[in-house]
Amino acid sequence: MAWTAPKTWALGALVSASDLNEQIRDNHVHLKLLVNDSGKIPALSSTYVADLSGANLTGVAKLASANAFTAGVHNFNGGTGARLVLPVGSDRWAT
Amino acid sequence: MSWTTPRTWTHGETVTPAMMNAHIRDNQLILKTTRSTAGRLSELSSTTLADLSAANVTGLARVASGNTFTGTSTFGGTSSVVLPVGADKYEDLGGGLRRGFWVEGDYLHHIASNQTTEWRYLGTYVSTPAGAVAGSVWVEGDDVHYIDASGLERRCSPTSSGHSDAAAIGGSTWVETYVHWIRESGSLEKPGHADVSHSDGTVHYDTHDDVAHGDGHSDVGHADSHADVAHEDTHADSHTDVHEDHSDGMDYSDGHADIPGEDSHADEAHSDTHSDIDHEDSHSDAHTDTYSDHSDHGDVLAQSQPTVVT
Alpha-carbon gap, residue B31 to B34, rounded angstroms: 7
Please give the pLDDT value at position A83. Answer: 74
Please give the pLDDT value at position A62. Answer: 86
Please answer yes or no on whether B44 and A53 come within 8 Å at the CB atom.
yes
Q: Which residues of B touch A51 (CB under 8 A)?
A: 42-44
pLDDT in tens, chain A (95 residues): 789 999 999 999 988 989 988 998 999 889 888 888 888 888 888 999 898 888 888 888 888 788 888 888 777 777 777 777 777 777 766 76
Residue A22 distance to chain B (closest CA, Å)? 12
3-state secondary structure of B39: coil
Please answer yes or no on whether B39 and A30 come within 8 Å at the CB atom.
yes
What pTM value is reported for the model? 0.63
Please give the pLDDT value at position B201. Answer: 54
Please give the pLDDT value at position B303. Answer: 42
Angle subtended at Cα B132 by Cα B120 and Cα B76, rounded to the nearest 5 degrees: 80
Q: ipTM, 2 decimals?
A: 0.72
Please give the pLDDT value at position B294. Answer: 45
Q: What is the mean pLDDT of each run of 10 residues along chain B (310 residues)?
A: 84 90 91 89 88 86 83 84 92 93 95 92 96 93 95 90 81 88 86 63 61 61 59 60 58 56 58 59 58 46 64
Q: Is A35 on the interface with B (CB under 8 A)?
A: no
Task: Give B99's strand partners.
Answer: B91
Please give the pLDDT value at position A79. Answer: 76
Please give the pLDDT value at position B276. Answer: 59
Buried b (16+ CB within 10 A) or exposed e, B272-301: eeeeeeeeeeeeeeeeeeeeeeeeeeeebe
Interface of B with A in 39-58 (CB under 8 A): 39-46, 52-55, 57
Q: Is A79 on the interface with B (CB under 8 A)?
A: yes
